[in-house]
Amino acid sequence: MTAIRAIVTDIEGTTTPLAFVHEVLFPYARERLADFVAEHGHEPEVAAQLAAARDLGNIPDADGKATIALLLQWMDEDRKAGPLKELQGRIWRQGYEAGVLKGEVYADAAEKLRHWHERGLRLFVYSSGSEEAQRLIFGCSDKGDLAQLFEGFFDTRIGAKVEATSYAAIAKAAGLEPQEMLFLSDHPGEVGAAKKAGMQAVRIDRALAPGAESEDEGGAVYGSFGPVEKHLSLKV
């Protein structure tokens, strides 16, 4: 088997509890969306995202109230819309900078990410959240600044997470062959897409005991990052 030179990790359900995203981050942005738009809607970058949301929602001439209603509807639907993700990221940044928010990262994930970085493995993130949101959750985490460990952050602008072409594009951006990269995710469809692109991949199932090892139709399933070690070997 080709030696692994880089690891690509998902966030939600993989390095970070689902509850933090759904019960902390999403409500935080929802509660502050209207005030954020009122305060910052005139700024060029924010105005551009609001206009993009209206275009995507086929309401190009909508007023501010209707635009906010659209964004809130997308939140309820958990829609992965680019403009929404960018605006959420800006709201979350305010929370992180104020010290109100602290990114939650599983202890085993933080430990292994630091260890792999020290060993010389290249680390990347691929998540449906915006690159901004990814940097914040790791950079302002309860385990310290982990963002500095990562060489690159990818969101769905590179492609859908269940499409093999997305993983091929990540490998190309990293200058590596897909088989030299190991993808970690809690989502079977994402694991399957990564494997279809030629990457090695492991599913993380946090419902299992931390050191548990299992297998499903897609391959190896682990309860934490610990057993992932057996997939790693560095070229000398």
CB 201 within 8 A of CB 231: no
DSSP string, 28-44: HHHHHHHHHHHHHTTSH
Structure tokens at 6: 């880089």
Structure tokens at 171: 């490998």
Residue 146 φ then ψ, to 5°: -95, -15
Q: One digit per residue, pLDDT tens: the chain, 236 residues? A: 689 999 999 999 999 999 999 999 999 999 999 999 999 999 999 999 999 999 999 999 999 999 999 999 999 998 889 899 999 999 999 999 999 999 999 999 999 999 999 999 999 999 998 899 999 999 999 999 999 999 999 999 999 999 999 999 999 999 999 999 999 999 999 999 999 999 999 999 999 998 899 888 888 999 999 999 989 864 43
Classified as helix, coil or strand, 111 is helix
Residue 215 φ then ψ, to 5°: -155, 145
Classified as helix, coil or strand, 92 is helix
pLDDT of residue 13: 96
Instruction: List, in order, residues 6 or more apart from 208 with CB less than 8 Å away.
Output: 214, 221, 222, 223
pLDDT of residue 216: 86
Domains and CATH numbers, the chain: 6-16+103-231 (3.40.50.1000), 20-97 (1.10.720)
pLDDT of residue 218: 80
pLDDT of residue 236: 33
